[in-house]
Amino acid sequence: MAVKTQTQEKTVRGKPTYLRSLWAIVWKDLAAELRSRELLSAMLVFAMLVILIFNFALELDARERANVTAGVLWVTFTFAGTLGLNRSMAIEKDRGCLDGLLLAPVDRTAIYFGKTFGNLVFMLIVEAVMLPLYSILYNVNLFQPGLVLVILLGSIGYVTVGTLLASMAVQARTRDILLPILLFPVVIPVVVAAVKASGGFLNGLDMVDIWPWLNLLIVYDVIFLAASFMVFEFVVEE
CB atoms within 10 A of CB 148: 15
What is the C-alpha separation between 206 and 201, in angstroms, rounded? Answer: 8
pLDDT value for 34: 81
**Contact call for residues 154 and 80 (beta carbons, < 8 A):** no
pLDDT score of 179: 84
Tens place of pLDDT per residue across the chain (238 aa): 444 444 444 443 444 587 887 888 888 888 877 887 778 888 888 899 888 888 777 765 556 666 788 888 999 999 988 888 887 777 766 666 666 666 667 777 888 888 899 899 999 999 999 999 888 887 788 888 999 999 999 999 999 999 888 888 777 777 778 888 889 999 999 999 999 999 999 888 888 999 999 999 999 999 999 998 888 877 776 6
How does pLDDT run across 100-147, given as a tens digit for each residue? 666 667 777 888 888 899 899 999 999 999 999 888 887 788 888 999
Give the side-chain half-sphere CA count within 13 A for 164: 22
Is-contact 89 170, C-beta < 8 A?
yes
CA 207 to chain centre: 25
Residue 18 near residue 114, CB atoms below 8 Å: no
- In the prediction, which pLDDT does 107 show? 76
3-state secondary structure the chain: CHHHHHHHHHHHHHHHHHHHHHHHHHHHHHHHHHHHCCHHHHHHHHHHHHHHHHHHHCCCCHHHHHHHHHHHHHHHHHHHHHHHHHHHHHHHHHCCHHHHHHHCCCCHHHHHHHHHHHHHHHHHHHHHHHHHHHHHHHCCCCCCHHHHHHHHHHHHHHHHHHHHHHHHHCCCCCHHHHHHHHHHHHCHHHHHHHHHHHHHHHCCCCHHHHHHHHHHHHHHHHHHHHHHHHHHHHHHHC
- pLDDT of 96: 64
